[in-house]
Amino acid sequence: GAGVSQSPRYKVAKRGQDVALRCDPISGHVSLFWYQQALGQGPEFLTYFQNEAQLDKSGLPSDRFFAERPEGSVSTLKIQRTQQEDSAVYLCASSLLRKGVQETQYFGPGTRLLVL
């Protein structure tokens, strides 16, 4: 079946612009995660949803970052007033349920954001 999809795959924004990144998780996956991966680094956790509830947003770097998942499926990560340091790949992952440690997170291909 289809995996996690993300759009757009690439986004170039001028500093100060707002951007919205979309994630379509695997159908039926309850848990959804957003990560930020800077060049040459591993993914770093941003936020986590279980269905429509945002249970953990401790990794969001500033109040310019906002995520939502209003119907418990598609999620959007919004970055307001983008800064150059926001340039990174934004990865979305989904899993059946974040319960114990046996679930596998399936990652999308990421959205590569470049802020000029």
Partner 1 sequence: QKEVEQDPGPLSVPEGAIVSLNCTYSNSAFQYFMWYRQYSRKGPELLMYTYSSGNKEDGRFTAQVDKSSKYISLFIRDSQPSDSATYLCAMRTMNRDDKIIFGKGTRLHILP
Considering only the stretches 12-20, 35-43, 71-79, 80-88, report the one whose residues sit in contact with partner 1 under the rule CB under 8 A.
Answer: 35-43
Considering only the stretches 13-21, 61-69, 79-87, 99-107, report the one whose residues sit in contact with partner 1 under the rule CB under 8 A.
Answer: 99-107
57 binds partner 1 (CB under 8 A): no
CB of 27 to partner 1, least distance (A): 17
Cα separation, 6 vs 76, whole angstroms: 10
Nearest alpha carbon to residue 81 among 13, 12, 8, 22: 13
88 binds partner 1 (CB under 8 A): no
Using CA atoms, how far residue 91 sits from 36, 38, 100, in Å, is 6, 11, 22
Considering only the stretches 14-22, 66-74, 79-87, 106-114, report the one whose residues sit in contact with partner 1 under the rule CB under 8 A.
Answer: 106-114
Cα separation, 54 vs 70, whole angstroms: 10
Number of neighbours of residue 90 by Cβ within 10 angstroms: 24
- Kindly list the residues in this chain that would bind partner 1 in the complex (CB under 8 A): 4, 40-45, 48, 56, 59, 91, 93, 98-101, 104-110, 112
